[in-house]
């Protein structure tokens, strides 16, 4: 079974994958800076008419929730918001593009939160990506 990205089912599977990742528990143990939103920009060509997001409630090496919602809802509820086009999120998950490098190259943008704080958690970010890569994922065409 695979889960369409992004969706509520994918968010639920992602939360489980994060919590099943022992490397994330170690790398993320010092993260106490609030929820993180991963926002996929609207793309009507793939039936994504508005910005959609996964809001991660991560704290001290555990994921206490992952919810699928509109981009606006996620921006309101997040301490950090990372935004980008669908194809860049897909490339991140499929190819394992380094998430911090994607931010520095402008493929993704930090639109809310403190970039130096985010950069301090490079390994945590990599483990969140590794967790996403463990979710059986199908992508929109």
**Per-residue pLDDT tens digits for 109-125:** 999 999 999 999 999 99
For residues 125 and 100, what is the distance between their CA atoms, to the nearest angstrom? 7
The pLDDT value recorded for residue 54 is 98
Q: DSSP letter at 107? A: S
pLDDT in tens, 23-49: 999 999 999 999 999 999 999 999 999
107 has a pLDDT exceeding 80: yes
Closest CA to 89 of 32, 62, 51, 34: 51
DSSP one-letter string for 41-57: PPBGGGTB-S-EEEEEE
Polymer length in residues for the chain: 141
Percent of the chain with pLDDT over 70: 100
In the chain, at which residue ranges do the beta strands (DSSP E only) sit?
3-5, 36-40, 52-59, 62-70, 80-84, 109-112, 137-139
């Amino acid at each position: 079974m695979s889960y369409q990205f992004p969706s509520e089912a994918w968010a639920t599977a992602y939360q489980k994958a994060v919590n099943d990742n022992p490397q994330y528990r170690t790398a993320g143990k010092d993260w106490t800076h609030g929820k993180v939103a991963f926002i996929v920009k609207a793309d009507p060509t793939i039936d994504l008419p508005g910005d959609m997001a996964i809001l991660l409630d991560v704290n001290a090496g555990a994921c206490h929730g992952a919810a699928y919602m509109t981009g606006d809802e996620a921006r309101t509820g997040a301490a950090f918001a990372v935004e980008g086009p669908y194809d860049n999120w897909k490339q991140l998950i499929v190819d394992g593009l380094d998430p911090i490098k994607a931010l520095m190259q402008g493929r993704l943008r930090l639109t809310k939160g403190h970039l130096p704080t985010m950069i301090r958690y490079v390994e945590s970010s990599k483990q969140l990506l590794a967790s996403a890569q463990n979710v059986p994922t199908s992508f929109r065409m």
